[in-house]
């Protein structure tokens, strides 16, 4: 499903997708050892552990941006580079369970923030300093839902040894 297709779903359906992600990640890695979680399917693909760390760090970024939108008038968001994060933060050296726990806590904060919004707040937005341009909170929820599905698929492929 694309981001645009997600945006055509009800807000409740998109929020339900966000609420399911942590549990789906737990189920996907259940019983997997560090050797499996750290194995890259090929030289250019992330290992499952790296995907978990990316989701953890990206959730922090999403949450920061949502908070900026709520508290500021049309904030501008700096560019991010997930591949640089993976290298600089040494994702393969992280503990997968700790990364997943941190993701779960941040996701709960994201859902609490979204649950606290007044109806008109969903149209408040911020501007990416790249080609993505302006995004409303409502649009961010579509992006996050798509992002979850994209990386859950990537994580499952990595566990199966497929790029």
CA 50 centroid distance within chain = 13
Q: Which pLDDT score is estimated for 133? A: 87
Which whole number is the average pLDDT over 28-47? 96
**CATH code for the domain defined by 3-160:** 1.20.120.450
Grade residue 83 by pLDDT with cuts at 50, 70 and 90: confident
Which whole number is the average pLDDT over 2-27? 97
Instruction: List pLDDT tens digits, range 49-67.
Output: 999 999 999 999 999 999 9
Tokens in use for 114? 């979204």
* pTM (predicted TM-score): 0.95
Check whether 132 has a pLDDT greater than 90: no
Mean pLDDT for the chain overall: 95
Q: Where are the domains of the chain?
A: 3-160
Percentage of the chain beyond pLDDT 70 is: 99
């Amino acid at each position: 499903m694309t981001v645009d297709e997600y945006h055509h779903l009800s807000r409740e359906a998109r929020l339900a997708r966000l609420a399911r992600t942590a549990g789906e990640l737990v189920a996907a890695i259940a019983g997997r050892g560090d050797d499996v979680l750290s194995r890259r399917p090929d030289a250019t693909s992330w290992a499952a552990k790296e995907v978990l760390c990316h989701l953890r760090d990206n959730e922090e970024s999403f949450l920061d941006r949502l908070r900026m939108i709520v508290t500021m008038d049309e904030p501008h968001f700096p560019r991010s580079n997930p591949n640089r994060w993976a290298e600089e933060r040494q994702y393969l050296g992280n503990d997968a369970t700790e990364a997943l726990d941190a993701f779960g806590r941040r996701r709960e904060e994201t859902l609490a923030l979204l649950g606290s919004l007044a109806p008109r707040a969903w149209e408040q937005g911020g501007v990416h300093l790249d080609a993505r341009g302006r995004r409303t909170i409502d649009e961010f929820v579509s992006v996050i839902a798509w992002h979850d599905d994209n990386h859950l698929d990537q994580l499952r492929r990595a566990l199966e040894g497929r790029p």
